[in-house]
Amino acid sequence: MIETHKKRRQLIILVALCIVALLTMAFSMTTGDFKMTVPQFFRTLFGDGDATDTMVLFEFRMPRLVVTLLSGMALAVSGALLQSITKNPLADPGIIGINAGSGFFIVLLIMFMPVDSSTFVYILPLFSMIGGLLTALFIFILSYKKNEGIQPVRMILIGVGMATALSGASIMMTSTFKSDQMEFISAWYAGSIWGDTWPFAIMLAVAVCILLPIVFMKANTLNILNTHEHISTGVGVGVNRQRMILVSIAVFLSSCAVAVSGGIGFIGLLGPHIARSLVGPRHQMFMPIALLIGAILLALSDTLGRILLQPAGIPAGIIVSIMGAPYFLYLMNRSAQNEY
């Protein structure tokens, strides 16, 4: 009876979030420098618009929307994985320094290669992933304590320290950059959606479509890993092997997302936490909701950023940080109170 009630609640929330997502998409498609009414949007969507409307919708707004939706999904699922694997409610690719590692390797790439979106679509995600994986590995090694596993507070402190150090090193290296390189990396660190063309959208879609089904197939494994380590071992789960696989997936998802959307933080924190508060901690229940929340948050933040303070606008990463920073401080305070 309780299980049926939870599934019904999940279904209602999923339907409500799908409606919100559709409204967010319509809002994103019809607002900006070039005004487009809802009837115009639907006419153009179904091939009945004029040349200007068609170009604006299909060449500018739609690929950008696809990138923000997919990036939000990837970051939310990545945060959910990291929180479950480390049993740390504060884990997030941006907060624990993984995004800073990706950014550092992107700076290294730009130092030796011209800023060119036609080649970046193939190379940038690779460098972003290598940086994220190496940073995650270093943080996990330093925060691991024998017989006790990964220490949550230690991981946060080491992650923040790593993020600060890598960001400082990146800033020092950018002092030698040319104007176009400096403009690109500044926009990236601010969380500006720069990879807003179809090649980047397709690259991200391929990564998300391959990895998300694997994550959902491992939902039961994640439920077990979220319990005590002795229980995980007792039911036959290869704890270390599964952690390595899932951490790699989490880092790959976040690295692909930030490669095209910039240094976005807090999506991986907000999405899973809100979802768990709505339907509980079982991964089959909360991850689909977290995925939709992440997509809505980033798409809405990007749209608001584009229409506020026109014509310059505000990067989506800043809008997300304004929403996420107070929530992070609240969770940090609650975590500290529970620990002591």
User: Per-residue DSSP letters for 2-67?
Assistant: HHHHHHHHHHHHHHHHHHHHHHHHHHHHH-SSS---HHHHHHHHTT-S-HHHHHIIIIIIHHHHHH
b/e map 290-311, b = 16+ CB within 10 Å: bbbbbbbbbbbbbbbbbeeeee
Q: Which of 244, 265, 256 is closest to 319 using CA atoms? A: 265
**Quick check: 225 and 98 in contact, CB under 8 A?**
no
Q: Phi and psi for 282 in degrees, rounded to 5?
A: -65, 130
> What is the model's pTM?
0.90
Tokens representing residue 61 in the block: 């707004």
CA dist., res. 166 & res. 107, Å (int):
10
Sequence letter at residue 110: I
- Give, for all 340 residues of the chain, the pLDDT tens digit: 556 777 888 899 999 999 999 999 999 998 877 878 888 888 888 888 788 888 888 988 999 999 999 999 999 999 999 888 877 777 888 878 888 898 899 888 888 877 665 666 778 888 888 898 899 888 888 877 776 666 666 777 888 888 889 988 888 888 878 877 888 888 888 888 888 888 889 989 999 999 999 999 999 888 887 776 555 555 555 677 788 888 889 989 998 898 888 888 889 989 999 999 888 888 999 999 999 999 999 999 999 988 887 777 788 988 998 888 888 777 767 765 665 4
Q: Roughly what angle, to the nearest 10 degrees, separates helices 62-86 and 2-30?
A: 150
